[in-house]
Amino acid sequence: MGFVTRNNGIAKVNLTTKTIEAIYPLGYKDHSLPQNSLDASNEDGVTQLKNWPVRGLFQPDAITYVNIAGTDYVISANEGDAREYEGTPGFVGEDRIKDFNLDPTAFPVSEDYQNEANLGRLKAMLSEGDIDNDGDYDVLYSYGARSFTIWSGNGTQVYDSGNSIATETLAASPATFNDEDKRSDDKGAEPESVDVLNIGDQRYILFVGLERTDQIMVYDITNPSAPTFLTILSHSGDEAPEGLLVVPAADSPNDKDLLIVSNEDSGTVTFYENQQ
């Protein structure tokens, strides 16, 4: 069995029969909930997490599969990406919320949502959100969920990290939060890649690469419904981790668990070694 992600969904593929057995739509997360707060502006002069009436599409960039205690799980890095291409006709799938025609009931003018210090700078989906077809937007969908999510093998959400990535990176490295705040109006830290280290079928360690902050988040997911944040990895000179590869000790040249990170912008490759 294999899993493939595209277009905010996950497809379950039977590798023996070479057929798609199911497609699981992933939906969105609600950024108005306390656990899903975000920094939505790069023009507000602060790095602060707030709640906003916005829905974030998961749109995984990368996924990985793991079996824990006999149960299948798929873990997604929810980066997000809009469609845009040139040509005749061309297509642009997003715009900044300051340029949207918002429904005055759903988005009262008194809240000043379209101010660039509030939601005005955030990019949102153009093709969805006019629920009653009256020419204005009743719902806003941003790209990416700024999180990682653990799904069951049948597409049910087991856990989403909510604002954990933003909270932990802001606490550990405020100066580089969301790429020095420059990406707060886009997709934040941009969770790009994921991989899992199985330590003797006893512990399962998840690594999440953050493209915009040049960091690797580390979580213990031995209990998939309640992961624990462990630490953040980074190495001076590495920029934009794109790919992660776990090499277990049994396959490692030095008999140690390894994490190999390929970095897109710096063109570097870094090896991390499990010291335990």
User: What's the pLDDT tens digit per position in 120-157?
Assistant: 999 999 999 999 999 999 999 999 999 999 999 999 99
Amino acid 257: pLDDT:
97
Indicate whether 276 pLDDT > 80.
no
Q: What is the mean pLDDT of residues 27-33?
A: 97
Q: Distance (Å, rounded) from C-alpha 174 to C-alpha 47?
A: 8
The pTM of the whole model exceeds 0.85: yes
User: What value does the mean pLDDT take over residues 232-237?
Assistant: 97
Is the pLDDT score of 7 beyond 90?
no
Whether pLDDT at 101 is above 80: yes
Neighbour-count burial for 58-67, b at 16+ CB within 10 Å, e otherwise: bbbbbbbebe
Percent of the chain surpassing pLDDT 90: 93
Q: Where are the beta strands (DSSP E) in 101-240?
A: 123-125, 141-143, 148-152, 157-160, 191-199, 203-210, 215-220, 228-233
DSSP designation for 131: T
Give the model's pLDDT for residue 92.
84
Question: Contact at 8 Å (CB) between 230 and 218?
Answer: yes
Q: Residue 79: its pLDDT value, please? A: 96
Q: What is the pLDDT of residue 26?
A: 97
Neighbours of 49 (CB within 10 A): 17
**Per-residue pLDDT, 219:** 98
List pLDDT tens digits, range 47-78: 999 999 999 999 999 999 999 999 999 999 99
Query: pLDDT tens for residues 164-211?
Result: 999 999 999 999 999 999 999 999 999 999 999 999 999 999 999 999
Predicted pLDDT of residue 168 = 98
